[in-house]
Amino acid sequence: MTEMVDRDTSPMLADIRRQPDVIEGIAARAKEIVGFADAHLRPVGGGRLVAFGSGDGWFAARATTARAANFSASSGLEMLAFTAPTMGPDDRALAISMSGNVDRSVEAAQAAIERDVPSAALVNGTGGRLAALGLPTLSLDLEDIAPFLCGTSSYLATLSVLRILSAAKAEVARIVDTLRLTARALPAFLAQADAVAAETATTLAPRPRGVRLLSAGGAGLAIADYGAAKLVELTRTPSWTDDIEEFAHRQFWSADAGELVVFLPTTPLVAEYADRSAEALAEMGFATLAIGPRPWLGSHARWSIPIDDADADPLICDAIALQLLAYRLAEAEGLNPNRRQHLKDDILRFRVSRMLTRRSLVGTGQ
């Protein structure tokens, strides 16, 4: 289904372009995922299901809350400090960590277990320290294409799994159909999005002074945060996220006209305000990019990445467009997005990053 890419020279592109197959694979596992949810994650009575994690897992959980009843999302620290202490045996907790080794996610899972909250984990692989807690684990079972290359296909796989396991049983078939239709629409979208991302990056080379990702609503801001995280991993370009309206009241006043502003409209109404904002920002010379269903995109953004297939899930398409934008901006800056070596080469910063979130990995080079 997907275009072949040399995994040795372009592992991240290979990871991006295998995502239609990854989503198809998750859809094919729907029965297994529902069975796992039935066994471990169905709240009792008035209980709730809380999914928690850091980074991509938290973004995916937040995007899911907009579409699922009786489901909420917490960061690892929020879960540890605020959510877990209020939970009880009728609730359920799902820890999300691809490695199973993120400190706050492990500590939050321990806090839930101590409260006698039935808990499980969503991982990619054996589950690391989370699985060692005795938690039932569901693995994405995605092949790691290259070391230190994560958060691309695993993000969309996580989002797809959460859509299925958080849904009421009557909704599962519809969700699976949407995932399959989206997977079939993605090859054409990938090619179109990559062309616009490359043009944007080339025009703004060597890099914009910053990137502002603007949206509205829980799911929209979750995908904006995901895009900002991708930019941080692949480029040296500062990135920020905000609500489209609130940007006008705060970030705008310190924004630089040499920055790129990316609009991620989540409804036709939000799209109207995004287009008005693009029109206004053009008066100061801001470069703007809009990503979303074609009927929602106005005429004032300098570039646009339209989603032409009405059956495709916009949040999945948005994520892929942002992956490609980060990839092409990194290339234009002279960095290698396939290796991300600029992160490890900053030895002190890399060590401190492990002290902040993965102390068990300090000194291992991972």
Q: Tell me: the pLDDT tens digits for 156-180? A: 999 999 999 999 889 999 999 999 9
Residue-wise pLDDT tens digits, 93-109: 999 999 999 999 999 99
Classify residue 265 by burial, with Cβ atoms within 10 Å: 0-12, 13-18, 19+. buried
* 50 & 136 share domain: yes
Considering only residues 5 and 266, tell me which one the structure prediction assigns the higher pLDDT: 266
Q: For residue 307, what are its two tokens? A: 């989603």
Report the domain count for the chain: 2
Do 146 and 203 sit in the same domain of this protein? no
In a domain, 172, yes or no: no
Statement to judge: residues 81 and 111 lie in one domain: yes
Same domain, 190 and 145: no
Question: Which domain does 62 fall in, by range?
Answer: 11-167
What's the predicted TM-score (pTM) here? Answer: 0.93
CA distance readout (Å), 354 to 148, 154, 283, 347, 364: 13, 21, 43, 11, 10
Q: Which of 76-80, 119-123, 358-362 has the lowest mean pLDDT?
A: 358-362
Contacts for 269 with CB less than 8 Å, ≥ 6 apart:
none
Q: What are phi and psi of 322, to 5 degrees?
A: -70, -35
CATH number for the domain spanning 208: value is: 3.40.50.10490
Same domain, 124 and 234: no
Give the confidence band of 348 by pLDDT, cuts at 50, 70, 90.
confident
The reply to whether 101 falls in a domain is yes
| Cβ count near 4 (within 10 Å) | 8
Token output for 150: 């994560």
Residue 72 lies in a domain: yes
266 and 313 in a single domain? The answer is: yes
Residues 69, 140, single domain; the answer is yes
- Which of 167, 196, 219 terminates a domain? The answer is 167
Q: Are residues 23 and 125 in the same domain?
A: yes
The confidence band for 1, taking pLDDT boundaries of 50, 70 and 90, is very low
Could you tell me which of 321, 296, 293 has the C-alpha nearest to residue 309? 293
| Model pLDDT, residue 363 | 72
Same-domain status, 218 and 251: yes
Could you tell me if residue 177 is inside a domain? no
